[in-house]
Amino acid sequence: MPEDSPAKKRVEELRELIWSHRKRYYVDNDPVISDSEYDALERELLDLEEAHPEWVTVDSPTRRVGAAPIAFLPTLRHARPMLSLDNTYSLEELREWEERLRRQLGDRAPARLSFSCEPKIDGVSLSVVYERGLLVRAVTRGDGFEGEEVTAGVRTIRSLLFRLPRPIEYLEVRGEVHLPLEEFSRINRQREERGESVFANPRNAAAGAIRLLDPRLTAERRLDLFVWQVAEIRGETMPASHSDCLDLARGLGLKVNRHHRRAVGLEEVERYCREMQEKRDSLDYEVDGCVIKVDALELQQLAGQTARAPRWAVAYKFPARQATTKVLAIEVNVGRTGAVTPTALLEPVPLGGVTISRCTLHNEEELRRKDVNLGDIVLIERGGDVIPKIVKVTLKADPPPERPFRWPEDCPVCGSKLAKEAEEVISRCPNVSCPARLRESLLHFASRRAMDIEGLGEALVDQLLARKMVADFADLYHLERGALAAMDRMADKSAANLLEQIGQSRDRDLSRVIHALGIRFVGEKTADLLADAFPDVEDLMEATEEDLQRVQEIGPRVAAAIRQFFQESRNRDLIRRLREAGVRMPHVPPPRVGGAFAGKTFVLTGTLPGLTREEAARIITSRGGKVASSVSRKTSYVVAGEEAGAKLAKARSLEIPILDEQDLRNLAEKETR
């Protein structure tokens, strides 16, 4: 088809249209067509591109999640360092900052300085580079000098343009990747349902999402980006002030926070800070303060910077959100390991957009130290994290409660005497069959990262325990369809589904089974190491502490816990019963059986010319290899760079194969194909 055919023209027209609607929707918050009309445009473009793959361009709006998963995130150096900010915690400190700044500027400082005032978005900072108007790379801040290349993930951000409206020779903008609060709650709800750990705050969730190796997964978390700086521009003149830079970025269709304001003189800055602090809870993203920047770029240059932060900018951090409320009750919960933790149930109080009605007190010692009891009025505080803490009691209950809370001596669930290990602050219920422990253990056993038994959630486990249908993990494999179907909210179909799921879990690999057992200190990673070292569970059961410690990364504390677990006849019996129930515990070696990396241990030494240590490590681990820090007979390869010393010598004496960077790359290359 000729280049100027109507279809080709339509493709171009559609791209322009889609970009402009995306901008109206995601950047301006002002859509002019319905979602379904928009979807129809994307569909039409996708269809045309499918029919004419030769017309697909990297900047087509359909290429948002186009990239395939990558093996690791390469490290890139920033053209100029991405600095951090100094913090101030009061308006007083902010004034002191301005005085220092004035001294620095000397007689160049006007009577009233102009500032750019912006919300400080609690996210992850990012540099985004456009060349000839095309998005070419995005790099995280990292240590300020070099960061990780996250271009594929960043392309999933819906408000971000792949192509600027004009082909500016070179443009670097910097900004904050963040998760809108609603999206953050959605992700955490989903993780809870799947039995995964929840994120403490939106920043952690955003940082995790942007670094995922599979852009399709990143796209599932709807990240957003606010641009807060134009770092460099070539081919056009750099505006004279920071505010003008932000206007330039906004004019190019990049998303700049709309609460940005220019302020003349410090009084206006202070007013801005007060106003933002009042607004913070009405925003749909987390803001932890304001950033105040000298507006004139010339004065910025004059003020200069320290190694860590510019002198021309400062953060004004908001205080943690606080509220007072009453303690209605103190509840103690028994976890999977028997740990007893107190939780205060509070009179519900709104705090930064969420209603708080409970608050953990961590352990007995903290409860005593803070002297919290029923009826007390407490001051609670929430930083950027969702979980609040009790700062202190502000008013003791008067009169004191008739029946004050006392730390229990016995497990509130099974009545066993609570025990406390020597240096520990945590009391534990020592009874492994305690129903509370059993409940949490069963939930852990069934969770996604352990045996992955879908459908075996809290409601069901509670019923199974109440009806005494299970007393340990092995009983799950003897459940009968009829009995299951008779339970609340279960029908024949759901019972059959659950049995199907339980049946499938019989084939889970050994490392998952080890993790599922819930041995103290043995998480997923340790379980992997153990399964590699003891591919037959019988060997693991017989392993002495010494044997266990021979496994890389397993120390005396973990070895002792594992030994103790398998010494208990009850646990040995459990393994035997699991086996009898058909749980096979096969050991599936790390990915790519027989590959050059699978199951091999690498030691890195010296400086590699073109890879940082982290990059080299990622090349190895992402292909199923392990990286160890010291050379021993177990080492498969030593990767040596410049100035490799003792480790290289030891590798030679043990006749361990030695690779250079190119050898490593060649091995990896073969593996990728």
Provide the annotated active-site residues: 120
**Identity of the residue, 138 or 620, whose beta carbon is nearer to ligand IVH in the bound complex:** 138
C-beta of residue 73 within 8 angstroms of C-beta of residue 148: yes
Q: What backbone torsions phi and psi does residue 227 show, to the nearest 5 degrees? A: -80, 130
379 touches ligand IVH (CB under 6 A) = no
Amino acid at 605: T
Say if CB 361 and CB 379 are below 8 A apart. Answer: no
Task: Looking at residues 99 to 118 of the shown chain, list those that interact with ligand IVH (rule: CB under 6 A).
Answer: 118
Task: Beginning with the edge strand found earlier in the chain, give each strand of the sheet holding 134-140 in spatial order.
Answer: 134-140, 124-131, 170-178, 224-234
State which of positions 199-228 bind ligand IVH (CB under 6 A). Answer: 228
Determine the distance from the C-alpha atom of residue 567 to the mean position of all C-alpha atoms in its chain, rounded to a whole number: 37
Nearest approach in angstroms of CB 636 to ligand IVH is 40
| 377 forms part of the interface with ligand IVH (CB under 6 A) | no
Count of helix runs (H) and strand runs (E) in the chain: 24, 22
How far apart are CB 173 and ligand IVH at their closest, in Å? 12
Residue 285 vs 637, nearer CB to ligand IVH: 285
| 291 is a contact residue toward ligand IVH (CB under 6 A) | yes
Stretch that binds ligand IVH, among 77-85, 472-480, 643-651, 657-665 (CB under 6 A): 77-85
Nearer to ligand IVH, 19 or 226 (CB): 226
Q: What is the torsional sign of CA 407, 412, 418, 420?
A: negative
Q: Which is nearer to ligand IVH, 121 or 616 (CB)?
A: 121
Q: Residues 18, 160, 269, 313: which binds ligand IVH (CB under 6 A)?
A: 313
Residues 164, 209, 315, 429: which binds ligand IVH (CB under 6 A)? Answer: 315
139 near ligand IVH, rule: CB under 6 A: no
**Cα–Cα distance between 332 and 405 in angstroms, integer?**
10
Nearest distance in Å: CB 116, ligand IVH: 9
Q: Which of 160, 147, 214, 122 is nearest to 26 (CA)?
A: 160
Q: Is the dihedral of CA 126, 127, 130, 131 positive or negative?
A: negative
Binding-residue total with ligand IVH (CB under 6 A) = 15
Question: Where does residue 643 rank: exposed (0-12), middle (13-18), buried (19+ CB within 10 A)?
Answer: exposed
The CB-nearest residue to ligand IVH is 125
**Checking phi first, is residue 520 left (phi over 0); if not, alpha (psi -120 to 50) or beta?**
beta
Mark the segment that binds ligand IVH (CB under 6 A) among 81-89, 182-190, 331-339, 610-618. 81-89
The amino acid present at 355, given as its one-letter code, is T
Q: Which of residues 227-256 bind ligand IVH (CB under 6 A)?
A: 228-229
Q: Which of 75, 114, 125, 635 binds ligand IVH (CB under 6 A)?
A: 125
154 binds ligand IVH (CB under 6 A): no
Tokens 């750990």 found at? 197
- The DSSP line for 327-351 is EEEEEEEE-TT-BEEEEEEEEEEEE
Nearer to ligand IVH, 270 or 454 (CB): 270
Q: Which amino acid is at 533?
A: A
Which phi and psi (to 5°) does residue 256 adopt? Answer: -115, 140
Parallel/antiparallel/unpaired status of strands 354-360 and 377-382 = unpaired
Q: Which of 149, 176, 376, 671 binds ligand IVH (CB under 6 A)?
A: 176
Selected binder of ligand IVH within 121, 135, 299, 519 (CB under 6 A)? 121
19 part of the interface to ligand IVH, by CB under 6 A? no
Q: If binding is defined by CB under 6 A, does position 591 make contact with ligand IVH?
A: no
Find the shortest distance in angstroms from Cβ 271 to ligand IVH. Answer: 18
Q: Kindly tell me which of 228 and 597 has the beta carbon lying closer to ligand IVH.
A: 228
Shortest separation between residue 280's beta carbon and ligand IVH, angstroms: 13
Q: How far is the CB of 154 from ligand IVH (least distance, A)?
A: 15
Determine the Cα–Cα distance for residues 429 and 417; give it in Å rounded to an integer: 7
Q: Is 283 in the site for ligand IVH (CB under 6 A)?
A: no
227 closest CA partner among 199, 205, 255, 252: 255
Asked if 173 is part of the footprint of ligand IVH (rule: CB under 6 A), the reply reads no
Q: Please give the distance of CA 310 from its chain centroid, rounded to a whole number.
A: 28
Residues that bind ligand IVH (CB under 6 A): 83-85, 118, 120-121, 125, 141, 176, 228-229, 291, 310, 313, 315
